Structure 1
C-alpha cells in the first residue's frame, strides 16, 4: 500500500516565482478540487481550471501540490478521512451496535437524496484509473477494506453467524444503491439497499 503523504510539498514548476501565499490557499485549492472532481470527473478538470476557480496563482498551486496527481491523491484521501469522521460521529450517537446500523443506512440514503449527487466518489475514481497499482486505486482499496472491516465488526458484535459474508453483502448492496441512485431510480435503489441490510441483520443472534 502506498503511504499517502498529506503534508505540503516544496516542489515547484520550473521557472515560477516564489510569490506570497494567500492565507488558506491550500485548503481552497483542495475544496475546489473536491467539488469539481466529484461533480465533473477527475480527468476532465485541468490545472488551469483549478487555479482559476481557487483564485490562486500558478506558483501557489505548485507550491502546495506540485502536480495535479498529488492533488488527486489528496482529494480521494480526504474523502476517505471524511467518511471515517462521519462514522465516528454516528458511532458516538449509537447506544448499541444495533442502533448504529440504521444510522449508517440513513446516512447513505440521505447522500443519495442530496442535490448534486453523482454516485460514490470512490467508485467514480476507480473507473477513471483502471490500473489497480495506481496510487488512486490503492486509496480506493484502502477505503473499501476499511468499510468492510467496520461492517464486519458491527455484525460480529450483534451475533451474526457469518459477519464477513454479511459485510460483503451490505457493501455490494451499498455500491448498487449509490450507483443506481445516480444512474437510475434512487427510490428503488434505496429500497433494495434497505431490504438487503434487513435480510443480513435478521440473521444476527444478539
Structure 2
C-alpha cells in the first residue's frame, strides 16, 4: 500500500489558504529568512492588510507553515492506521511513507531541521519544532512497543535519526540513492529488535 498526502487544490479560495500555500512553497524551497513578506503577498495575490489580518506578522505565518507540515505527517500516520491496526504492519507502512516522502515531497530536506537552523534560539518556532519531534518519537515508540520489539525507545530514537539523515541526505545525494538505503536500514533495525 502506498501512503499519499491529501491533494491540495492549485488555487485555494480563501486569502488565508493562499497565503499559507505561497509561504509553504517559498519557505521550504528558498528558506524562511530569505523570503520577505512582500514576496508572499505577491505570490498569494492578497493585500498587505489581509496578510497582517490573517497572521499578525511573518512569525505567525512561519508557525502556520510548520503546523501544516506537522499536520501533514500526522495525516500520514492516520492514513496508515486506517489501512491496518497491526503495529508491525504500521511500522512497515511508516517506513514506506517516509521513503515516499523523501522521493516525492520533501526533496529539499526536513522542513523542521531547516527551520531550526534559521531559528537557533528558544522561542515559539523552536517550541513548535520540539512538540512535533516529541510527537513523532512518541508515536514511533508506541508502534515499536505495540509490535513487541525489544527496546522500543531505542527503535524510536533510531528511526527518528534515520529519517532526519534520510531527508537531509535525499536533498544532498538524491532520493534515488537515499530512499532505498533509508528503507533497507529501517527494516534491518526493526528486524534486529524482534524477539
Instruction: Please tell me the TM-score bracket, short chain as reference.
Output: 0.7 to 0.9
**Structure 1 residues 53-62 or 92-101, which shifts more?**
92-101
* Residues 74-117 of structure 1: CA deviation (Å, up to 9, x unaligned): 11112111211221111110241111112111111112222772
Identify the match of residue 63 of structure 2 among 73, 87, 90. 73
Runs (4+) of structure 1 exceeding 6 A deviation are none
Aligned residues: 182
- In 2, the alpha carbon distance for the partners of 1:157 and 1:115 equals 29
Corresponding position of 1:111: 101
Structure 1 position 41 matched with structure 2 position 31: yes
Corresponding position of 1:193: 182
Instruction: Kindly report which structure 2 residues correspond to 1:1-206, keeping only aligned pairs within 5 A, or say none.
Output: 24-114=14-104, 117-131=107-121, 133-202=122-191, 203-205=193-195
Which is higher, the Rg of structure 1 or of structure 2?
1
TM-score, normalised relative to structure 2? 0.88
Give the structure with the larger helix fraction.
2
Pairwise CA RMSD:
1.5
* Residues 113-141 of structure 1: CA deviation (Å, up to 9, x unaligned): 2277211111111111111x121111111
Q: Which structure has more RCO (C-alpha within 8 Å, separation ≥ 6)?
A: 2
How far did residue 181 of structure 1 move?
0.6
Corresponding position of 1:18: none
What SS does the corresponding residue of 2:65 show, helix, strand or coil?
helix
TM-score, normalised relative to structure 1? 0.83
Kept in 2, the 8 Å contact 1:76–1:122? The answer is yes
Cα pair distance change 1:198/1:137, threshold 3 Å: same
What SS does the corresponding residue of 1:91 show, helix, strand or coil?
helix
Kept in 1, the 8 Å contact 2:108–2:171? The answer is yes
- In 1, the alpha carbon distance for the partners of 2:105 and 2:157 equals 28
- In 2, the alpha carbon distance for the partners of 1:113 and 1:153 equals 26
What SS does the corresponding residue of 1:176 show, helix, strand or coil?
helix
Kept in 1, the 8 Å contact 2:99–2:183? The answer is no
